[in-house]
Amino acid sequence: MTSIIVQRSQISGKVHCPSSKSYTHRAVAAASLADGHSKIGNPLLARDTLATVYACKALGVDIEYEDGELLIQGRDRLKVPENVINAENSGTTIRMIAAISSLTSGGFTILTGDDSLRRRPMNPLILGLQQLGVKCCSSKDDGTPPLITRGGGMRGGTAKIMGNVSSQFVSSLLLTSVRADSPTKIEIIGRQVSKPYIDATITTMDRFGAKVSGSADTILSVDPGSYKGTTFRIPSDFSSAAMVMAAGVLTGNEVIIEGLDFRLPQGDSKIIDIIRKMGGRIVIDTDKGEAKIYGCEVLNGGHFELTDSPDLLPVVSILALKACSSVYIEGIEHARLKETDRVANISQELVKLGVSVKEESDKLRINAPETLRNANLDAHDDHRLFMAFTIASMLTNKSEVNGAESVDVSYPQFVSEMRRLGADILPQSELES
Is residue 210 assigned to a domain? yes
Q: What CATH number did the domain enclosing 175 receive?
A: 3.65.10.10
Is residue 231 assigned to a domain? no
Is residue 208 assigned to a domain? yes
Is residue 251 located within the same domain as residue 336? yes
Is residue 221 located within the same domain as residue 244? no
Query: How many C-beta neighbours within 10 Å does residue 109 have?
Result: 25
350-373: average pLDDT: 96
Give the structural domain span for 261: 3-18+237-432
Is residue 216 located within the same domain as residue 302? no
Per-residue pLDDT, 433: 41
- Cα diameter, the chain: 64
Is residue 351 located within the same domain as residue 367? yes
Is residue 301 located within the same domain as residue 220? no
Is residue 232 assigned to a domain? no
Is residue 8 located within the same domain as residue 75? no
Which residue, of 226, 246, 273, is where some domain finishes? 226
339 touches 310 (CB < 8 A): no
State pLDDT tens for residues 49-94.
Answer: 999 999 999 999 999 999 999 999 999 889 999 999 999 999 999 9
Confidence class of residue 428 from pLDDT cuts 50, 70 and 90? low
Is residue 126 located within the same domain as residue 33? yes
403 touches 379 (CB < 8 A): yes
Is residue 113 assigned to a domain? yes
C-alpha angle 111/410/186, rounded to 5°? 55
Active-site hit among 311, 378, 381, 382: 311
Is residue 177 assigned to a domain? yes
314 touches 385 (CB < 8 A): yes
State pLDDT tens for residues 259-277.
Answer: 998 888 898 999 999 999 9
Per-residue pLDDT, 215: 85
Which residue, of 178, 206, 226, is where some domain finishes? 226
Is residue 355 located within the same domain as residue 417? yes
User: In total, how many domains does the chain have?
Assistant: 2
160-171: average pLDDT: 93
Is residue 280 located within the same domain as residue 203? no
Which residue, of 168, 202, 226, is where some domain finishes? 226
Is residue 312 located within the same domain as residue 299? yes
27-34: average pLDDT: 98
Percentage of the chain modeled with pLDDT above 70: 98
Is residue 246 located within the same domain as residue 174? no
Query: How many C-beta neighbours within 10 Å does residue 12 have?
Result: 15
Our answer to whether residue 378 is catalytic in this structure is: no
State pLDDT tens for residues 123-143.
Answer: 999 999 999 999 999 999 999
Is residue 357 located within the same domain as residue 375? yes
Q: Which residue blocks in 303-433 are alpha helix, DSSP H?
A: 313-319, 342-352, 383-393, 414-420, 428-432
Mean pLDDT, the chain, rounded, equals 95
Distance of CA 170 to the CA centre of its chain: 15
Is residue 95 assigned to a domain? yes
